[in-house]
Amino acid sequence: MQNPMMFTASNERGFSLVELLAVLGIIGLIAAAGIPALKGISGSTGRSGGINALMSALDQTRSAAILSGVNAYLVFPDASFSPGSGLDAQNYVYRSYAIVRDANADLGETNLTTAQIQIGKWESLPAGIAMVSGSVTALPQTNLSLALPGSAAPSSVAVRVIGFNASGGLVDAAATNGITVYEGRWDGSQGVPARPNRVVDRITLNRFTGRATLAMATNSGAY
The half-sphere exposure of 160 on its side-chain side, counting CA atoms within 13 A, is 25
- What gap in Å lies between CA 175 and CA 107, rounded to an integer? 30
Note the pLDDT of residue 222. Answer: 85
pLDDT tens-digit series, residues 178-196: 899 999 999 988 999 988 7
Angle at alpha carbon of residue 166, lines to 107 and 115, rounded to 5°? 50
pLDDT tens-digit series, residues 18-58: 666 777 777 766 655 544 443 444 445 778 888 999 999 99
What residue spans define the domains of the chain? 56-218
Note the pLDDT of residue 32. Answer: 54
Domain made up of 56-218: CATH architecture: 3-Layer(bab) Sandwich (3.55)
Note the pLDDT of residue 40. Answer: 45
Region 134-144: mean pLDDT is: 92
Angle at alpha carbon of residue 50, lines to 44 and 55, rounded to 5°? 125
Q: What is the pTM (predicted TM-score) of this model?
A: 0.77
pLDDT tens-digit series, residues 62-84: 999 999 999 999 999 999 888 77
pLDDT tens-digit series, residues 83-124: 777 788 888 999 999 999 998 766 666 555 568 888 989 999
